[in-house]
Structure 1
């Protein structure tokens, strides 16, 4: 997990030791090496020919080919969606939708370390960015019904996310659905328990 969080990147022994022994400040080098060696034996070769895990001067790296790791594919789709959004919302929507479909719950939950928690937070933030981008693309394509349904689902998933509520009110208002917009605004105010500022 610690290596997969940073694919194709050299990871020092301190970071790996923190992942394997999160409660310890130090770890025996020979014990860590046994873990790495065991992984090398069990994981199939990279591209069928070269070592999946390589080691050099106390650092280790897992070699991942393009398209092999869901988190890397997910990140690229979000990036490509952002790039396409200003000029090609249809393509952007496809990228964002595919990125969202790759999500399989909270990532790296088994990696109880600072780096694991940081990577989990980063990828979770990217997922919300992808969903926000999907809403933007659907609005640009005038898919109001779909964008409203998605926003409503997101308010259920995270009722305390103010941005989603305000976006829902905005989309409903601009779609000429003032009664629903007002109802969503009032519900958001109750759920969030904070004064909200209406989007013009």
Structure 2
């Protein structure tokens, strides 16, 4: 990213705004603004005219929809500085070509990538700075002034990414003892996201550590009312607060939630693939292999959406089966899982013993495990929970036939690889 401020900047994490050399650019008609919003949401990716029509008007476009799109594109090129260069014609549609530092949404994604990389490297201070930079880009409701068919889904997905990043930041702030900061931020976030159990847990623990146990229990009661009940984990946290469990008083190893999922990325439309995952896990198998374009993003988004089915935790591991990185060691992944699940500091050194301990800790619990970018069955096998109450979603470039043959895993193809 550039060291200097770009001359042309776009913001969508709030009302849509365009600035050139610090001065606002007048875009004109609402439909022109809506088309620009669509192009920004999918910046640097081509969109067909048919897709633009669908995102603008949904299933009932006007008869002149295609002509209107072409006219709107011409108008945008005229009002945007350098519009002919930015808004490119593709074979079947259009592409908005911008740099990452020109759009707040792209900067948000960049900071999340930095945060996750820092967390993987155990640099928690750098992770907190990146999460803070990412969440600080938000100015209100995304596309707050745009009226178009694509907006409701886009807002839901972006809100999920934001609150996921905020929860990660609050977890890190809680670990460094910033209880008052967590109380304020979690309280504000719950006003907009009352159904996020992790926010309730973070607020309860922050209040407890700040000597406000009675208020923490009041938050628990509010959570039960807002969500129509509580998970066993939230019930256990309330009981531990009532009993003044000293283990809750700020030990770095204490986790409010065995939850290692990264924040979800944005998606154009994976409803069909998500439904396929749902079906696979309701047909007698607890392991699903997902293969194809966008498999990793789908698995994480689905895991966030399905969190309520797994109240005892969601675990995530990047197994790093890529061309430029060595695959992750299952023993190291198990160490992370075991610490997250509350195992003590003295872990077995043998991978088989760690795997056995992992299986014992998740036995009878409803835990979801996402194993991303797996190399082969040998790498995955020690990470399987061996409990019917748990579910495993594995993404891989290969088919992992060994999981299918030996463990009865279901296999689905997604994205461009879907048949």
TM range (shorter): 0.7 to 0.9
Taking structure 2 as the reference length, what is the TM-score of the superposition? 0.43
1:15 maps to which of 51, 68, 81: 51
Taking structure 1 as the reference length, what is the TM-score of the superposition? 0.83
2:184 maps to which of 149, 154, 157: 149
- In structure 2, the residue matched to 1:38 is 75
Task: Give SS of 1:74's match.
Answer: helix
Unaligned runs of 5+ in 2: 1-36, 241-419
- What is the rounded CA distance, in whole Å, between the counterparts of 1:159 and 1:29 in structure 2? 41
Compare the two structures and name the one with the higher strand fraction. 2
Matches within 5 A, 1:44-123: 44-45=81-82, 51-85=85-119, 87-109=122-144, 110-114=146-150, 116-123=151-158
**Following TM superposition, by how much is the alpha carbon of 1:193 offset from its aligned partner in structure 2, in angstroms?**
4.2
Are the structure 2 counterparts of residues 59 and 141 from structure 1 closer, same or farther at C-alpha, using a change threshold of 3 Å? same
**Following TM superposition, by how much is the alpha carbon of 1:126 offset from its aligned partner in structure 2, in angstroms?**
0.8
CA contact (8 A) 1:11 1:61 kept: yes
Structure 1 stretch 93-102 or stretch 17-26: which is displaced more?
17-26
Structure 1 stretch 89-98 or stretch 126-135: which is displaced more?
89-98
Are the structure 2 counterparts of residues 190 and 58 from structure 1 closer, same or farther at C-alpha, using a change threshold of 3 Å? closer
Q: How many residues align?
A: 196
Q: Does 1:4 align with 2:4?
A: no
Unaligned runs of 5+ in 1: none
**Following TM superposition, by how much is the alpha carbon of 1:174 offset from its aligned partner in structure 2, in angstroms?**
5.3
**Following TM superposition, by how much is the alpha carbon of 1:2 offset from its aligned partner in structure 2, in angstroms?**
1.4
Compare the two structures and name the one with the higher helix fraction. 1
CA contact (8 A) 2:179 2:209 kept: no
1:94-132 deviation digits (Å, cap 9, x = unpaired): 212222221122213415224x43322221111001110
Are the structure 2 counterparts of residues 67 and 147 from structure 1 closer, same or farther at C-alpha, using a change threshold of 3 Å? same
- In structure 2, the residue matched to 1:137 is 172
1:146-183 deviation digits (Å, cap 9, x = unpaired): 22222222223333433211222233445665333223
Structure 1 stretch 189-198 or stretch 146-155: which is displaced more?
189-198
Q: Does 1:198 align with 2:236?
A: yes
Task: Give SS of 1:57's match.
Answer: coil
**Following TM superposition, by how much is the alpha carbon of 1:91 offset from its aligned partner in structure 2, in angstroms?**
1.7
- What is the rounded CA distance, in whole Å, between the counterparts of 2:72 and 2:222 in structure 1? 52
CA contact (8 A) 1:19 1:113 kept: yes
Root-mean-square deviation (CA, aligned residues, Å) is 2.5
Q: Which has the larger radius of gyration?
A: 2
Task: Give SS of 1:105's match.
Answer: coil
